[in-house]
Chains A and B, each alone.
Chain A
Amino acid sequence: MRLSLLIPLVAAALAAQEPAAEISPVSERKLSYSIDTGNRFLTGVGGDFNTYRSVVNLGEGPKLFGFEAALEDPGSAWINRLIVSASSWGGEPYNTLRATAEKDRVWRLTADYRNVAYFNFLPSFANPTFEAGGGFNQRSFDIERRNANVELELLPGARISPYLIFARDSGNGSGITPFVANGNEYPIAALMRDETNHYRGGVRLELPRTHVTLEQGGSTFKDDQRNSTSQLNLGNRRAPIFGRQLLLNSAEQAYGVRGRNLYTKGILTSAPASWLHFYGQFLYSRPTSDVRFSENADGLFFLGATRFFNGLGALLSSEAKQPRTAASAGVEFKPHRRFRVFESWSTDRLHNAGSALLAERLLFSNGPAELRDLFEPTRLVMNLNRQQADLFFDLTSKLTLRGGHRFVWGDAIAPASFLASGPGQGEIRRHVGLAAVNYRPSTAVAANVEYEGSPGDKAYFRTSLQNYHQLRARLRWQLMSSLRLGATYLFLDNRNPAQGIDYEFQTRSAGITLEWRPGDAKYFSILGDYTRSTWRSDIDFLTPQNLRPARSFYRDNGHTASALTQFRIPCSAQFQPLIEAGGSLFISSGSRPTDYWQPIGRAILPVSKGVSLYGEWRWYGMNQAFFMVEGFRTHQFVSGLRISR
C-alpha cells in the first residue's frame, strides 16, 4: 500500500525535474599522491664491473624510485586536472618525468622527459686482443641520452583542434673510438655531443564524417664529436712493416655535422557510411646534412709500396639531401554483416644524394708534402610499394576466417660495393599469401591462428625474407574469475636457396603466462610466464682472404621465465604484511650460451593507512660459458618507504 503511494510521488518528483541531464563527474577537489623512496645498498660487484655497468648499471645511495601526484578539480577556471609522475631519480641510470595538465575540452599539455644512461664497455666486444687475454673495448660509450617532448593541444575533441609539439633529443658523454689511419687503427678518447630539436604544429579538423590532420614540422640536428689523443699509441697492428713500427703521437678529429629537415604531413580518415571507412596519409620530407670535418695527426703511417709518412691533415666538406615521399591509403568495406574487406596500399620513395670533397695533406720527414683532393658523389634510391587485400568472413558469431594477399615490390640503387664498376642495383618482389582463423567460443576464451607464406622471388639482401612461412597462434583464456591463462606460439622458416647463399633460417617461440588471484588476491597471488625460443640460421659466405666458401652457423636455444608471487599475512584488519618473491631468469645454449638470473624478494610492512615500509633483496648474476670474463654477480638491498594517499 505504502509502495503504491510512493510511486506517484516519486514519479511526480522526477517529472518535475529538468529534462534528462547527463551524469556529471564527481566534482570534488581531490589530491592523491604516492611516494616511493629508499636507499639501495650493493654488496660489491663480483666479476667484471664493466659488464655489470653495461647490463645492469644500478648504483648505491638514496633514491626516489617513484613519485606521483594527481590533482583533480583544483577549483580553478583554468585547469581541472594535473598529474605529475616521476621514476628512478637519484643517480639512477633511467630517469623519467611526466606531467599532464588539462582543462577539459579547452587545452591539454603533456610533457615527457627521459634520461637514459648508455654505458657499454663489454670486454669482448670490439677488442682485437681479447683472445690473447688483454685489451679493452675500442668502441665503448658512456653517454646519456635525454629525450624531452612537450605537446600542447588546444580544444581537444572540438571540431578544430590546433596543436604544437616540441621535442628534443640529445646525447652527451665520452667513449673510446679508433682513429683509423693507413694500415693501423689507434683507440683514442672521444667526446660525443649531439642534439636534435623537432618543431611540429598542425591542426585537426573533425567534420561530421571526415577527419583531416595537417601538420608542418621541422627539425635541426647537430653533432659535434671530438676525438683526440696526445700520447704515444702503437695501435692494434704491432707487427712492423718493412721493419718499421707504425705509431701515433697525437691526433685530433672534429666532426661538425649540421642537419635540418622540413616536412609536410596530411592525414585523412573518413567514414562516409557505417560500411565504408577510408584512411589515407601523405608525407613529404626533405632532410639535408652539411658537414665540416677536420683531422690532424702525426706519427708514422704507411702509405703503400714502401713509403711512409709522418703527418696527416685532412679537411672535408660534404652535404647530403634525402627527399622522401611516403603515402598510404586503406579502405575498410563491409558489404554484408558477415563479410568485410580490408584493402591497403603504401609507397615509400626516397632519393639520397650526397657528395664529399676531401682535401688531404701528407707530411714526410724527408720530402715535400703531398696534397690530395678527392671528390666523391654518391646516391641511394629506394622505391618500396606494398599492396594488401584481406577478406574477412564471420562464419558464425564466434568464428571468423580471413584470407588475403600481399604484394611487395620495389627497387633500389645502392652505393657501389668494393670492386664493383657501378652502383649496386637491387629489387624486391614478393607475393605473400595470408590466412587466419579467429575463434571466440565465449567471452572468456579467444584463440587466433595466423599464417603467411611466400614462395619468394626477389629480395634485397642475402638474409632478407625470401621463401618463407610464418605461423602465429595466440590463446587467451579466463578459466575462472581468478585464473587467467595465455599462450603464444610463433614460427618462422625462411630460405634462400640461391647458389652461394643457401640460407636456412628457422625460429620458434612458445610462451605461456598464468595469473592466479584466488579471492581477489586476498592472501595469495601468482603471476608467471615461461618462454622457450630457438633460433637456427645456416648460410654460405665467402672467406675474404681467399674467397673460399664457408658456412656460417648460428644457434640460440633459450629458456626465459619470470614470476612474482605475493603472500599477504592477515595479522589484523589494519596490519597485513605482504611478502613478494619471484624474479626472472634467462638460460640459453648455442652460439653464445648465457645465464642471466634476477631473483627478487620483498617484504612490505604497513605502518599506518597509506604508509608502509619495505625491504627488498635482488640478485643479479650473469655467466657466459664462452666469455667467462664477462660474468658478474651482485646482491642489492633496498630499504624504502612508500606513502600514498
Chain B
Amino acid sequence: MIRALHLSGRAAASAAALLLFATLCLAQEMPPGYAGTESCALCHEDIANAFAKNRHAAVGKEKRRGWEARACESCHGPGLKHTETTSAEDIRNPAKLPPSQADSSCLSCHTMQPTQVGRVQGSHAQNQVACATCHSVHTPPQAAQNRAARLNAQCATCHISQRAAFNRPHGHRLNQNAIHCTDCHNPHGTQMTASLRLSTGGEPGCLNCHNDKRGPFVFEHAPVRLEGCNSCHEPHGSANPRMLTRPNMAQLCLECHSNIALPSGRTNTGALGGIPPAFHDQLNPRFRNCTLCHQRVHGSHINKALLR
C-alpha cells in the first residue's frame, strides 16, 4: 500500500514536471506570463476541443486582436503561473467574478458591435446580468433546429411571468415557435422601454411585422405614436380578444376618451383625447363596439374620425 502510494506520488510529480516543461517549451514565444492555448489544452482537453468549434476560436487566429495563439488567455488572463501550480487561484475565472468585471473581457471586443449601442439603456446591463448568463463562450454553436424554442426557453428561465402570458388564449405565437423573444427585444438593450427593438425607420419594432400599420397616416391616432402599441395591447398574451387590455372595446376606448376639450387646446383633465358625441349611446350595442365604425383605429389616410 505504502509502495503504491509512493509510486503514484512519484508519477504525479513526474507528470507535473512534464506539464511544466512542455508548457515552458510551448510558451517560449509568448509574452511574459502567458502560456498559450496549447498549454491550456493539455489539461482542459474537452473544453479545448469544444472551443475549437466555437466562433471565439477565431480570436487566437487574428493578429490584429493581439491574442494570436492565446485565445483562452484573452478572457482568462495570463496563465503561465496557473500551468505551474495548477491552482484555480492562479487563473482568472470570469464565472466567479462580479458581472461587471466578467463582462469587461467580453466588451473589450464586443463593444465594437452595433448591437451593443443601447447597452447602458438596457435592463440586463443595469441589473448585472452577465454576458455568460445567456451566451456560451466555450461550446460549439448548437444546431439551428428549434432555434426559436431554445431562445424562448432561455429567456423564460428568468422572465417567467412574461413567458406565462403566452399561455393565454390570445397572444403572439411564441409557443408555436413562429416567433422568438429576440424578434421584438434586443437583449443587449435599446433606447426603448423593455429593450424593444426599433424598426428600420426608427419606429417601434412591432411594425417590422405589422407594416400595414406603419403609416405615416394623414389622420394619426395619437397614442400609437406617443405611447406605442401597448397602450391598448398586451403583446405577450391576454384573455381578451385581439390581445387588448380590456375585454370590450367601449371600455378600452372610453377610459381615454373622457376628456372635455377646452378652448385652449387642452382638456379639463390635462390629458389628450376627447369624448365621443352624444349620439354614441352606450345602451346601444352598435356604439359599444367602437371599431365597427372607427375601423382605422391605428390611423387613417381618409377620414379624421378614423371611419375608413
Contact = CB atoms under 8 A, between A and B. Distances in A.
Contact of A378 (B191, B219, B245, B284): B219
Interface residues of B, number: 157
B273 A462 contact: yes
Interface in B180-218: 191, 198, 200-203, 208-209, 211-212, 214-218
Given A70-B143, A461-B272, A542 B258 contact: yes
Given A210-B112, A544-B281, A476 B222 contact: no
A581 interface: no
A560 interface: yes
B61 A22 contact: yes
Interface string A169-195: 101000001101000010000000010
Contacts of B58: 104-105, 157
Interface string A181-217: 0000100000000101010100010100011010001
Contact of B108 (A22, A271, A501): A271
Contact of B164 (A352, A531, A542, A547): A531
B48 interface: yes
B229 interface: no
A354 B219 contact: yes
Interface in A243-282: 253, 255, 257, 259, 261, 263, 267-271, 274, 277, 279-281
B87 interface: no
B254 A541 contact: yes
Contact of A544 (B22, B241, B280): B280
A424 B269 CA distance: 12
Contacts of B220: 352, 378, 380, 414-415
Contacts of A330: 117-121
Interface string B244-285: 011101010011111111111111111111111111111111
Contacts of A289: 215-218, 301
Contacts of B125: 342
Contacts of B29: 19-20
A568 B261 CA distance: 68
Contact of A85 (B11, B27, B147, B280): B147
Nearest to A58: B176
A288 B302 contact: no
Contact of B95 (A85, A415, A443): A443
B76 interface: no
A356 B202 contact: no
B43 interface: no
B242 interface: yes
Interface in B139-180: 143-148, 156-161, 163-165, 167-170, 173, 175-179
Contacts of A32: 143
A440 B133 CA distance: 13
Interface string A71-100: 000000000000111011000011010101
Contacts of A533: 161, 164-165
B68 interface: yes
A138 B157 contact: no
Contacts of A616: none
Interface string B41-79: 100000011011100011011101000110100000000
Interface string B18-52: 10011001111110000011100100000011011
A558 interface: yes
Contacts, number: 534
A412 B27 contact: no
A539 interface: yes
Contacts of B61: 22
A23 B261 contact: no
Given A68-B145, A419-B261, A552-B254, A390 B291 contact: no
A424 B266 contact: yes
Interface string A6-33: 1100110011000111111110000010
Contacts of A98: 144, 147
A400 B226 contact: no
A40 B100 CA distance: 50
Contacts of B291: 126, 139
Interface in A382-397: 382, 384, 386, 388, 390, 392, 394, 397
Interface string B78-116: 000000000000000001111111001001100111101
B261 A420 contact: yes
Interface stretch (A320-328, A364-372, A518-526, A569-577): A320-328
Contacts of B176: 88, 93-94
B239 A461 contact: no
Contacts of B17: 7
Overall SS of chain A's interface: strand
A424 to B, nearest CB: 5
A638 interface: no
B136 interface: no
Interface stretch (A41-49, A305-313, A509-517, A601-609): A509-517
A20 B38 contact: yes
Given A342-B125, A412-B272, A463-B231, A424 B49 contact: no
A185 B301 contact: no
Contacts of A93: 176
B14 interface: yes
A423 interface: yes
B278 A87 contact: no
A500 interface: yes
A104 B53 CA distance: 12
A64 interface: no
B37 A279 contact: no
A511 B276 contact: no
Contacts of A352: 215-217, 220, 225
Most buried by B among A206, A288, A461: A461
A586 interface: yes
The 7 A-B residue pairs with the shortest CB-CB distance, nearest first, are A417-B274, A354-B218, A511-B160, A420-B261, A322-B216, A68-B145, A94-B178
16 contacts: A11-B22, A34-B145, A120-B241, A219-B200, A293-B301, A293-B308, A412-B226, A417-B273, A426-B226, A440-B128, A460-B223, A464-B271, A486-B157, A486-B160, A584-B175, A585-B167
